[in-house]
Amino acid sequence: MALVFFLIIAAIVLGLVGVVAHGLLYLLFIGIAVLIIALALSAIRFRRGGQSANR
């Protein structure tokens, strides 16, 4: 869960830097991609529920 929060925070920071800094619009797109990955990762973990990875 900490990984998902870290990825979301990184996506927000990259998005803000991409919007504010001129010429660094690619950081906004990287931030969007990181956010999508974080949401997909959390959806996979949520679907798995309480199952252990060792089973």
User: Which residue range forms the structural domain that includes residue 10?
Assistant: 2-46
| pLDDT tops 70 at residue 41 | yes
CA distance 55 to 50: 11
> Is 39 a member of any domain?
yes
Instruction: Give per-residue pLDDT as tens, 3-18.
Output: 888 988 998 898 889 8
Task: Quickly state the pLDDT bin for 46 (edges 50, 70, 90).
Answer: confident
- Asked if residue 25 is part of any domain, the answer here is yes
User: Do 15 and 28 contact (CB within 8 A), yes or no?
Assistant: yes
Q: Please check whether residue 51 lies inside any domain of the structure.
A: no
**What is the per-residue pLDDT across 16-40, written as a single tens digit (0 to 9) for each?**
898 888 888 888 898 899 999 999 9
Q: What length does the chain have?
A: 55
Is the pLDDT score of 1 beyond 80? no
pTM above 0.75, yes or no: no
Buried b or exposed e, range 17-48, using 16+ CB within 10 angstroms: ebeeeeeeeebbebbeebbeebeeebeeeeee
